[in-house]
Amino acid sequence: MRPILMKGHERPLTFLKYNREGDLLFSCAKDHTPTVWFADNGERLGTYRGHNGAVWCCDVSRDSMRLITGSADQTVKLWNVQTGAQLYSFNFDSPARAVDFSVGDKLAVITTDPFMGLPSTIQVKRIAKDPSEQTGDSVLTITGPQGRINRAVWGPLNKTIISGGEDAVLRIWDSETGQLLKESNNETGHQKTITSLSKSADGSHFLSGSLDKSAKLWDIRTLTLIKTYVTERPVNAVAISPLLDHVVIGGGQDASHVTTTDRRAGKFEAKFFHKILQEEIGGVKGHFGPINALAFNPDGRSFSSGGEDGYVRLHHFDPEYFNIKM
Amino acid sequence: MAEVVSMADIEATALRLGIDISSVDLDAIQIPPGEDFGIKSDDDEDLYQEDGFEMEAGFGNIIVVDNLPVVPPEKFEKLENVVRKIYSQIGVIKDGGLWMPVNPETQKTLGYCFIEYNTPQEAELAREKTNGYKLDKSHIFSVNLFDDFEKYMKVPDEWTPAEIKPYIPGENLQQWLTDEKARDQFVIRATTFTEVFWNDPRQMMPDLVYRRQYWTEAFVQWSPLGTYLATVHRQGAAVWGGATTFNRLMRYAHPQVKLIDFSPGEKYLITYSSHEPSNPRDTHRVVLNIFDVRTGKVMRDFKGNADEFTTGGSGGVSGVSWPVFRWGGGKEDKYFARIGKNVISVYETETFTLIDKKSLKVENVVDFSWSPTDPILALFVPELGGGNQPARVSLVQIPGKEELRQKNLFSVSDCKMYWQSNGEYLAVKVDRYTKTKKSTYTGFELFRIKERDIPIEVLELDNKNDKIVAFAWEPKGHRFAVIHGDNPRPDISFYSMRTAHNTGRVSKLATLKSKQANALYWSPAGRFILLAGLKGFNGQLEFYNVDELETMATGEHFMATDIEWDPTGRYVATSVTSVHEMENGFHIWSFNGKLLYRIPKDHFYQFLWRPRPPSFLTAEKEEEISKNLKKYSKKYELEDQDVSLLLSEQERKRRNMLLDEWDAWIQNCKRLHEEESELRRQLRDGEASDEEEEYEAKEVEVEEILDVKEEVVPFDLDQME
């Protein structure tokens, strides 16, 4: 089917997130205003106004009531999904990069960038049921990794936190004590900045994308490398299909390195790979710049991509997609 | 390796001799070169040898001038000034680098002196230029390199017969030709690695033969018959080969070698280097060596200023047009020639001297080229005297130097010569001025070399104002292709030198209109041609059959920079080398345009097919084979089928294994997931677990009252009626 082009952002997209039911799609961009869309027809439902900088990441609670957004304006904000009202603002001393709700939505993990001599951090905040009781105290603060931490997500049963960033190392931390439990090694790990992490639907494995032109599938409990998917371009975004054994990988030559006039040169394609056989299935073209964000609808029947070009493209799969034989 | 002397031994010895070892600066001790007092260096033996050229530099820049006058002290200064004047013209003499020893008894000079230059090149030049210099009647200089003295001193006084080494059979250097699957090899260079592969189209991938890091310091090059792979290093060039792997077969010492060139029969190797002059006003110094490939012996060397080697070519100030020497006379490697000012110097390889001891005099000659098979030179002399003397193309037979054919051409701006690979035809592309002299147009002069009196035919394109983008002869054939036209999408025309009804005349076969192509690549077996659009056309490819005059396939290798057919004409390699930052790597296609496999490689520099020597089959035998092709091909088709069956079977097994592996793993995960389900429920305050089935979509209607307004509606009684 023809993709639905959603033009609501004025700057490059940074992140996409579906709610649990798959009827809403949240998008973040460098233009300060996270936006919510109907995931079926791409109609714009509303915006969340209040940030004063690029918004890097967001997450939505299981009951689709709360939205959390992390921004370069050094705040992380909680929103009422329905009304768009700001419920709380966590203030930091440096730009916030990644946010993720825990199972049960009682905790959120937030990463902050290294800034003005401050090191990058991973912080855990308690999320109050009643927004009026919300406080800004951190339950846990982890420092250590060099450079930006581009993504941090919760491990099984909220017991661990998995992080990846500019130092190209994946790390698993104990979410109670902040102790480093495991880290990826040079041999199997990524060679360059890790740009994205995406968990499988059941949370048993996750996919990491890196500027070293590869994406890798890991066991979330043991951090053993399971699969590697090699592409021709730096990877900015990854997603795992909840329905089929497919993964989708997006990226493209860094905008500043694209010198040719031909847009094919950048390879701004979302590439589908067979998750188990590691073979390329196909590609979805369309963006006029690198793909920065990818997300699967929880029903696995559609996916959306967000690009440096400011567009969100919503793709409903054709029936043939479900009959692909490998 | 000699015995190792430990520090303890040294201390013991020092104590015995009464030396306080702590007061000795070990670094200050210099051992004379060549003398090791029985203590072998622990450096790598090989490394030591490779550095040999560098080692000599210690004394390589000193010369000894003999046969100077013997003078008393009062004339010493005068003589020194004379010598200094002569030798400082050639290069910069080091501070205190001129030393004239004096006999301590008579206070007279000894009749010789030492001069030290900054570089060995200057010393070498000084020896060359002043050996035999006549200072006066009785004093003729005899100049030698200091290093040579040692060499001459070592010559034993008594002659001993040369030791005859027993014959050791060498390995078969052409083993690769006996590959059972008749595959071809290629070499690639990417990052710091150089790798040789088999092209294995059945397996749809290359098969590694040999890989080596830092194999070469600049580039690699196959010899024309594929026997050797040449590498280039700081100290010289080397060739590699062997039956099963790549061993170093020979080294050719030539410091700072820049370019190399094999003779067509790969008997000789020419190496070239250019050296910065010590005086910036001077031109670069050029050194060329001709080696015998098998023995490694220098057959002849040429040294001189860059100017002497650039005449006629388009080389710049510091470069020459390569190759300087062009080989003629086919695979026999009999002649080589170079162009000079008003001359063409032709040498023969029996004695490595000029034929008839003199060069061929041709006023104002600017270009020449050899027939690929016969000892015939084609040369081009441009217009002179503002058009009073016409331009000329002539064919000259070597070694007799008689002119076979000559053609005068008028209002010519430039000429280019293209030989057909069998030397049967020569096409000369002639750019002529229009009457106004403001623009040029192009025509072709076609020579039939093998026919009596060498008839010449003039060919003009249908639209003679068309610019010629590319021209190429069909290898071993009678056809040629031309890309012509001014618009962005040029036309391509095919011509034949002989057609069924018109054997003596050139005729057009077809013209393809507005193609995205700017380069022509004929299959080495003829018949097929790849029309390629490189650079601005982003790598458009069209595989064309000239027998049937039809397109077999079109393709694209985005950004392709280089295209090369394998020597058999079965496969084509297209590659993107590091001139582009992105897309580096190569693709292998079948002759009819089917993409077989793609290999991406970052920092990709070179792709070269290993050439094959010409076939030993006679033309009749080849004809017979192609007649009975069906019979032969059956065997290979069966093999192909077997391989593809085997492959698909292997592939199926591999996939099943992967799927099973994954299944086992994911089952385990599911189990863990279920075990944790109760814990998850707790984390969610008892809310139903995450299983999809447990929640169902309910349609809930929500009515929201946005606003309540009371309005008085006018009630018109008239309406009632």
pLDDT confidence of residue B429: 93
CA distance A269 to A254: 13
* Residue B323, preceding peptide bond in cis (omega within 30° of 0): yes
> Which runs of E-coded beta strand occur in B293-409?
298-305, 326-328, 335-340, 343-348, 353-354, 360-361, 367-370, 376-381, 391-397, 402-409
The Cα B207–Cα B199 span in angstroms is 7
Which pLDDT belongs to residue A170? Answer: 94
Name the residue facing A104 among B538, B582, B683 (closest C-beta): B683
Pairing of strands B220-222, B540-545: unpaired
Tell me the C-alpha distance between B358 and B343, whole Å: 10
% chain A with pLDDT above 90: 76
B55 touches A at CB < 8 Å = no
How far apart CA A179 and CA A51 sit, in angstroms, is: 33
- pLDDT, one tens digit per residue, over A37-59 is 999 999 999 999 999 999 999 99
Q: In this predicted structure, which of B258-267, B291-300, B495-504 has the lowest mean pLDDT? A: B495-504
Q: Residue B51's pLDDT is what?
A: 43
pTM equals 0.70
Task: State the pLDDT confidence band at A189, using cuts at 50, 70 and 90.
Answer: very high
d(CA A69, CA A80): 11
Q: Which of residues 22-61 of A touch B (CB under 8 A)?
A: none
State whether residue A202 sits within 8 Å of chain B by CB: yes
Q: Between chain A and chain B, how many beta carbons pairs sit less than 8 Å apart?
A: 55
- Position B109 confidence tier, pLDDT thresholds 50, 70, 90: confident
CB under 8 Å to A184, separation ≥6 — which residues?
A169, A170, A171, A190, A218, A223, A225
Span of B256-265, B659-668, B693-702 with lowest mean pLDDT: B693-702
* pLDDT, tens digit (0-9, with 9 covering 90-100), for B217-234: 999 999 999 999 999 999
Structure tokens given for B120: 């060995």
**By mean pLDDT, which of B15-19, B64-68, B543-547, B561-565 is the weakest?**
B15-19
First to last CA, chain B: 132
With pLDDT > 90 as the criterion, what percentage of chain B qualifies? 35
Which residues from chain A sit within 8 angstroms of residue B681, using beta carbons?
none
pLDDT of residue B425: 93
Q: Rounded mean pLDDT of B255-278?
A: 89
Of A62, A202, A232, nearest to B673 by CB-CB distance is A202
Cβ separation A265–B655 shorter than 8 A? no
Residue among A104, A156, A202 minimizing CB distance to B685: A104
Residue B532 has pLDDT above 90, yes or no: yes
B119 vs B288 pLDDT, higher one: B288
Pairing of strands B236-241, B247-253: antiparallel
Question: Given this model, what pLDDT does residue B718 score?
Answer: 63
Per-residue confidence band for B689, with pLDDT thresholds at 50, 70 and 90: low
Q: What is the mean predicted confidence (pLDDT) over A167-174?
A: 94
H or E segment and range at residue B429: strand B425-433
**Stretch among A83-92, B494-503, B580-589, B630-639 having the lowest mean pLDDT:** B494-503
User: Closest approach of chain A CAs to the CA of B184, in angstroms?
Assistant: 28
Higher pLDDT, B714 or B541: B541
Contact B672 A156 (CB under 8 A): yes
First to last CA, chain A: 22
Is A7's Cβ below 8 Å from some Cβ in B? no
Cα nearest neighbour of B697 on chain A: A21
Tokens of B640: 């192909």
Confidence of residue A324 (pLDDT cuts 50, 70, 90): confident
pLDDT tens, residue by residue, A233-265? 889 999 999 999 999 999 887 666 655 545 555
> Is A232 in CB contact (< 8 Å) with chain B?
yes
What is the full DSSP assignment across B21-74? GGG--GGG--PPTT--TT----S-HHHHHHTHHHHHHHHHTEEEEE-PPP--HH
In this model, does residue B20 exceed pLDDT 80? no
Q: Determine the pLDDT at residue B682.
A: 86
- Residue B36: pLDDT band with limits 50, 70, 90: low
How far apart are alpha carbons A215 and B210 in whole angstroms?
A: 30
Q: Which of B600, B658, B679 comes nearest A157 by C-beta?
A: B679
Answer yes or no: are the C-beta atoms of B401 and B360 closer than 8 Å. yes
For residue B228, the model assigns a pLDDT of 94
Please tell me the predicted confidence (pLDDT) of residue A35: 95
DSSP string, B516-571: S--EEEE-TTSSEEEEEE-GGG-SEEEEEETTTTEEEEEEE-TT--EEEE-TTSSE
Q: Is A116 on the interface with B (CB under 8 A)?
A: no
pLDDT score for B137: 83
Q: What is the mean pLDDT of residues A283-308?
A: 92
Chain B CB within 8 Å of residue A261 CB:
no
B637 by DSSP, 3-state: which? helix
Please indicate if any CB of chain B lies within 8 Å of the CB of A62. Answer: yes
Structure tokens at A28: 């973040």
> What letter represents residue B457's amino acid?
E
Residues of B in contact with A205 (CB under 8 A): 669
Q: How confident is the model at residue B678 (pLDDT cuts 50, 70, 90)?
A: confident
When mean pLDDT is compared over B92-96, B432-436, B533-537, B665-669, the highest value belongs to B665-669
- Overall average pLDDT of the B76-103 stretch: 86
pLDDT of residue B657: 92
Give me chain B's average pLDDT, please. Answer: 84
Cβ of B535 under 8 Å from any chain A Cβ? no
Whether residue A257 lies within 8 A of chain B, CB to CB, comes out as yes
Weakest-pLDDT range from B176-190, B258-272, B374-388, B697-711: B697-711
Query: Among A148-162, A183-197, B353-367, B594-608, which stretch is predicted with the lowest mean pLDDT?
Result: B353-367
- Paired tokens of B281: 């006003």
**Mean pLDDT across chain A, nearest whole number?**
91
Note whether A277 contacts B685, CB cutoff 8 Å. Answer: no
Pick the range with the lowest mean pLDDT from A318-322, B86-90, B323-327, B526-530: B86-90
Confidence of residue B207 (pLDDT cuts 50, 70, 90): very high
Residue B169 CB contacts under 8 Å (≥ 6 apart), including other chains: none
ipTM of the complex: 0.82
Which CA distances in Å does B200 have to B92, B362, B643?
Answer: 58, 51, 12
Tell me the average pLDDT across B98-120. 87
Q: Is the pLDDT of residue B203 over 60?
A: yes
B46 pLDDT tier (thresholds 50, 70, 90): very low
pLDDT at A272: 94
Q: What is the mean pLDDT of residues B11-22?
A: 67
CA–CA dist B289, B252 (Å, integer): 9
The better pLDDT of the pair B399, B395 is held by B395
**Shortest CB distance from A277 goes to which of B559, B658, B666?**
B658
Quick one: pLDDT band at residue A149, thresholds 50, 70, 90?
A: very high
Say if A255 is an interface residue toward chain B (CB within 8 Å). Answer: no
What tokens does A49 get? 């106004």
CB atoms B583 and A262 under 8 Å: no
Query: Confidence class of residue B52 from pLDDT cuts 50, 70 and 90?
Result: very low
B676 lies within 8 A of chain A by CB: yes
Chain A residue at shortest CA distance from B674: A202
Q: Over 80: is that where the pLDDT of B458 sits?
A: yes
**Between B308 and B195, whose confidence is greater?**
B195
Query: How far is CA B73 from each of CA B76, B102, B136, B139, rounded to the nearest angstrom?
Result: 5, 9, 20, 19
The pLDDT of residue A26 is above 90:
yes
Chain B hits for A213, CB-CB cut-off 8 Å, are none
> What's the pLDDT at B396?
92
Secondary structure percentages of chain B, helix, strand, coil, to 5: 20, 35, 45
DSSP code string of B479-508: EEEEEE-SSSS-EEEEEES-BTTBTTS-EE
pLDDT, mean of residues B318-338 = 81
Q: Which of A48, A121, A102 is nearest to A78 (CA)?
A: A48
Q: What is the pLDDT of residue A51?
A: 94
